[in-house]
Chain A
């Protein structure tokens, strides 16, 4: 129960953040891809710059997590094709739907049935990737 509540709490915070910062708004994503506002770039950019500092600090101090285990951040597998091809496909969807996976869940709060269809589409996409995985270049 404690485990559930701590992760649920992080999600709750993130959900409010996605709405209040407007990163879950289709309009903000469109505006970003038109290069007409600093807002989204400021959010992603400052998160990354601070993130680099945090990760460097955690690694340098061989920091432990709350359970006392060393924090291990897995390296991504080397490669090119899957990252560029998958990235482009993701980007097409991100711009069309105006939402990436986190914001999709957040938008359920709008009570619009279309968000259910959106998430259904994302589940379908995940499933079809699983089915085609061995046939795709990676």
Chain B
């Protein structure tokens, strides 16, 4: 049971992600998580307002089935299969302490950012909402996210995906190294 309860190492997780991509290709689809956000906007009626959301979303209903599975899988794994929190590099633990984040190595997510107490502050609410907004906006602007570009696109040796992934890292490094010290 150790195999299930402990952290899955990279050399297990990476190939399993490839397996997922392979299965989706064999099912006549592709591996990309962010398109489901567009599908949901369409279902919500955004197609009445703009052409970008005017498409036959029923054809894309499969990505919502995947999302439903992901939600249930996440619930099972978080509630029943994860007795230990991610164990992070000690240097990083110290760095986070300086930023005021002390839940490292004890929680799956930093309580300082994700707790209800934090969500009820203007700053805490704004961080979560803006974080989500940037992910949604950026993924559609770039035409894909980590799964669509980094995994699917690079596996197919697509130059646009390489450019997008370089962008992901430029953005991530700017956030963590330049913007975090200003907001925390």
Contact = CB atoms under 8 A, between A and B. Distances in A.
Contact of B158 (A7, A75, A131): A75
Contacts, number: 486
A121 B73 contact: no
B158 A13 contact: no
Contact of A73 (B18, B30, B144): B30
A28 B115 CA distance: 18
Contact of A20 (B46, B81, B134, B142): B81
Interface of B: 4, 7-18, 20-28, 30, 33-34, 36-38, 40-41, 44, 46, 49-50, 52-53, 62-63, 65-79, 81-82, 86, 88-89, 91-92, 95-96, 104, 108-110, 113-116, 118-119, 124-125, 127-147, 149-161, 163-177, 179
Closest 7 pairs (CB-CB, A-B):
A87-B167, A11-B69, A15-B73, A91-B171, A121-B132, A125-B136, A93-B134
Nearest to B132: A121
Nearest to B168: A91
Contact of A109 (B71, B114, B127, B175): B71
Contact of B77 (A7, A16, A98, A126): A16
**B73, B88, B143, B179: most-surrounded residue (chain A CB, <10 A):** B73
B137 A82 contact: no
Contact of A76 (B17, B24, B73, B143): B143
Contacts of B88: 27-28, 31, 36-37
A40 B150 CA distance: 12
Given A12-B72, A51-B21, A97 B65 contact: no
Interface string A94-105: 111111111011
Contacts of A133: 50, 52
Interface of chain A, helix or strand or loop or mixed?
A: helix
A51 B169 CA distance: 20
Contacts of B164: 83-84, 86-87, 90
A16 B74 CA distance: 5
Interface of A: 3-4, 6-34, 36-48, 50-52, 54-55, 58, 65-67, 69, 71, 73-80, 82-102, 104-110, 112-115, 117-131, 133, 136
Contacts of A108: 71, 74-75
B135 A104 contact: yes
B73 A3 contact: no
A14 B70 contact: yes
A127 B41 CA distance: 7
B136 A94 contact: no
Contacts of A114: 113-116, 118-119, 124, 128
A6 B30 CA distance: 14
A26 B102 CA distance: 13
Given A9-B69, A43-B10, A92 B138 contact: yes
**B41, B53, B152, B156: most-surrounded residue (chain A CB, <10 A):** B156
25 contacts: A13-B16, A14-B66, A19-B73, A19-B78, A20-B82, A24-B108, A33-B175, A36-B91, A41-B10, A51-B155, A66-B26, A71-B28, A91-B167, A91-B172, A93-B133, A93-B138, A99-B135, A100-B34, A100-B147, A102-B70, A117-B128, A118-B131, A121-B132, A123-B41, A131-B50
